[in-house]
């Protein structure tokens, strides 16, 4: 399913974040675990996670932050209730889950299975975490480039609201159904109907319906909190005040590297003359050949794909030079055999094959035929983009059998659902200075998550190493007694490993 990351209909009660359709009319909807909470699985938090010493945890996709937040709560590093989430991100990540009945509500997850159900996608994890009571104040700091963004089209530097959240039962005969209800107060905008019920309806353009209700119909309103939407400049100003976030506050610090910039990974393919059908067709056959469920095998599969691309380029060169006969060059099967003959050391292993050998061979002919149509420039861009899993293998609905994809991210360059912004070395340095200014406050975070957002195609891949270096350098400078190389943990499912994806074959 197409993933359109992170546009929400204004949401969040810092304990349960509920969508406020009357405030925002658009959103980004993504389509379609911690071993300390239950039995260990291969998809759980890495066995080498140092939950006692790793204050800073570098993750790939943002919903993987739940692993580290709830590990910290389980071990007592983080209170189980009443925390501030200080969210510095190019997007709010506060969309609503498809079904609240599937995840823990009003309580912490009891085991790994429940936490796995919470790991749905990268723009709804904040609501799900808030539904447990983990958060009672949510601060989203939006970047300078997000002028006129989805939740602040009038560019208000600061908006705050108080939400109380509860449950309302809809009469469905023998099967009464509950929905979340909420009451809203704010000094920053007019609220015509303070209490509403929000019903998810994925068939609507906004994805949700909202109906006014009387306050007494909303039961168990023990969840709630403060939501603040803050510009970068205003966050710096508030940080200097010394009263915004206090030393005694329990803070989860959450930084997404797409706060620095956001680019469409597939833009070079379109610039080189490919269209959406061309790109999707490649992914279709890649997904029938290569299947993985962990970052190590993911790299192995990409290495195979890189060798396949080089063999295709070499065979095309031989065809153009006349070294191969016309029959070989025009026959898809003969051409594929010539390609595979150039890579005898790289037979596909069963670990990264989707299907047995004969089926794989059949699909390879189709994939090579499509690569054969590409120009040298297109093949070079395809090689740089590579192939990867379509989502974190920890995601609730991840299925190895869906196969790998061209690692092009969730949105194309023509998407109107994402605000793109490129950056450079000077601007990255300026963004890091701003980050340091807004973090220079009295509090020390209980846990820090730094999200790369590279697999899903938001953080610019070429600039990613410099961006991450900037973020980690800021954390070391602001918290010198707490953040060192020894207290930074790199998640085992990072795309391309610790060093990242863009430089995976050039470092």
Q: What is the 3-state secondary structure (H, E, C) of 403-435?
A: CEEECCCCCCCCCCCCCCECCCHHHHHHHHHHH
Please count the other Cβ atoms lying within 10 Å of the Cβ belonging to residue 319: 18
The stretch 251-261 carries a mean pLDDT of: 98
346 pLDDT above the threshold of 80 = no
13 pLDDT above the threshold of 50 = no
pLDDT the model gives residue 39: 34
The stretch 344-351 carries a mean pLDDT of: 80
What is the percent of the chain where pLDDT is above 90?
69
pLDDT the model gives residue 30: 32
pLDDT the model gives residue 173: 63
pLDDT band at 288 (very low <50, low <70, confident <90, very high): very high
Could you read off the pLDDT of 44-70 as tens digits, one per residue? 444 444 444 579 999 999 999 999 999
Structure token digits, residue 53: 């010493």
Closest CA to 183 of 195, 192, 193, 191: 195
Domain positions in the chain are 35-265+417-490, 267-406
267 in helix, strand or coil? helix
* Whole-number average pLDDT of the chain: 86
pLDDT the model gives residue 110: 94
Closest CA to 180 of 170, 171, 188: 170
Kindly report which listed range (64-73, 347-356, 453-462, 481-490) carries the lowest average pLDDT score.
347-356
pLDDT the model gives residue 17: 35
pLDDT band at 192 (very low <50, low <70, confident <90, very high): confident
Kindly report which listed range (23-37, 303-317, 428-442) carries the lowest average pLDDT score.
23-37
Give burial (CB, 10 Å; 0-12/13-18/19+) of 389. Answer: buried
Please count the other Cβ atoms lying within 10 Å of the Cβ belonging to residue 392: 23
pLDDT the model gives residue 486: 92
pLDDT the model gives residue 506: 79
pLDDT the model gives residue 414: 87
pLDDT the model gives residue 154: 76
Kindly report which listed range (25-29, 61-65, 192-196) carries the lowest average pLDDT score.
25-29
Could you read off the pLDDT of 359-389 as tens digits, one per residue? 998 999 999 999 999 999 999 999 999 999 9
pTM of the predicted structure, to 2 decimals: 0.89
449 in helix, strand or coil? strand
- The β-bridge partners of 449 are 57, 254
Please count the other Cβ atoms lying within 10 Å of the Cβ belonging to residue 365: 18
10 pLDDT above the threshold of 90 = no
Which of 371 and 203 is assigned the larger pLDDT? 371
Residue 213's φ and ψ, nearest 5 degrees, are -140, 165
pLDDT the model gives residue 371: 96
Closest CA to 115 of 106, 125, 76, 225: 125
Could you read off the pLDDT of 382-435 as tens digits, one per residue? 999 999 999 999 999 999 999 999 999 998 898 877 889 999 999 999 999 999
pLDDT band at 99 (very low <50, low <70, confident <90, very high): confident
């Amino acid at each position: 399913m197409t993933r359109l990351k992170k546009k929400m209909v204004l949401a969040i009660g810092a304990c349960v974040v509920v969508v406020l359709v009357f405030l925002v009319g658009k959103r980004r909807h993504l389509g379609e675990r911690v071993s300390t909470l239950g039995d260990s699985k291969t998809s759980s938090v890495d066995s080498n996670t140092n939950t006692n010493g790793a204050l800073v945890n570098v993750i790939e996709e943002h919903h993987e932050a739940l692993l580290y937040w709830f590990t910290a709560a389980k071990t007592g590093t983080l209170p189980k209730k009443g925390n501030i989430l200080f969210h510095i991100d190019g997007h709010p990540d506060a969309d609503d889950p498809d079904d609240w009945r599937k995840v823990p509500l009003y309580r912490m997850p009891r085991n790994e299975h429940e936490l796995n159900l919470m790991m749905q996608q990268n723009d709804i994890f904040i609501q799900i975490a808030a539904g447990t009571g983990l958060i009672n104040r949510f601060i989203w700091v939006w970047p300078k480039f997000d002028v006129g963004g989805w939740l602040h089209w009038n560019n208000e530097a600061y908006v705050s609201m108080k939400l109380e959240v509860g449950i309302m039962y809809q009469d469905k005969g023998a099967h009464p159904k509950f929905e979340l209800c909420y009451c809203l107060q704010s000094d920053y905008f007019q609220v015509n109907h303070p209490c509403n019920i929000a019903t998810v309806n994925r068939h609507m353009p906004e994805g949700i319906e909202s109906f006014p209700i009387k306050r007494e119909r909303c039961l168990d309103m023990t969840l709630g909190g403060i939501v603040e939407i803050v510009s970068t400049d205003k966050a710096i100003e508030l940080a200097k005040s010394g009263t915004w976030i206090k030393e005694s506050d329990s803070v989860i610090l959450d930084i997404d590297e797409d706060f620095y910039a956001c680019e469409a990974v597939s833009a070079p393919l379109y610039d080189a003359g490919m269209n959406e059908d061309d790109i999707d067709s490649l992914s279709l056959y890649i997904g029938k050949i290569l299947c993985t469920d962990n970052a190590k095998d993911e790299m192995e599969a990409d290495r195979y794909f890189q060798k396949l691309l080089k063999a295709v380029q070499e065979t095309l060169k031989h065809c153009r030079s006349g070294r191969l006969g016309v029959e070989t060059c025009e026959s898809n099967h003969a051409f594929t055999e010539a390609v595979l003959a150039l890579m005898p050391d790289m037979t596909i292993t069963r670990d990264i094959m989707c299907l047995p050998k004969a089926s794989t061979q059949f699909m390879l002919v189709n994939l090579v035929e499509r690569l054969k149509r590409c120009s040298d420039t297109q093949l070079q861009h395809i090689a740089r983009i590579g192939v990867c899993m379509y989502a974190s293998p920890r995601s609730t609905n991840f299925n190895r059998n869906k196969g790998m994809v061209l690692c092009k991210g969730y949105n194309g360059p023509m998407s109107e659902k994402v605000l793109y912004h490129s950056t450079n070395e000077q601007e990255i340095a300026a963004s890091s200075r701003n980050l340091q200014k807004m973090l220079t406050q009295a509090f020390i975070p209980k846990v820090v998550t730094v999200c790369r957002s590279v697999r899903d195609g938001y953080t610019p891949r070429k600039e990613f190493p410099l961006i991450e270096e900037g973020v980690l350098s800021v954390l070391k400078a602001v918290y010198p007694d707490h953040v060192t190389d020894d207290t930074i943990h790199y998640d085992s499912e990072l795309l391309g490993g610790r060093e990242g994806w863009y430089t995976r074959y050039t470092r």
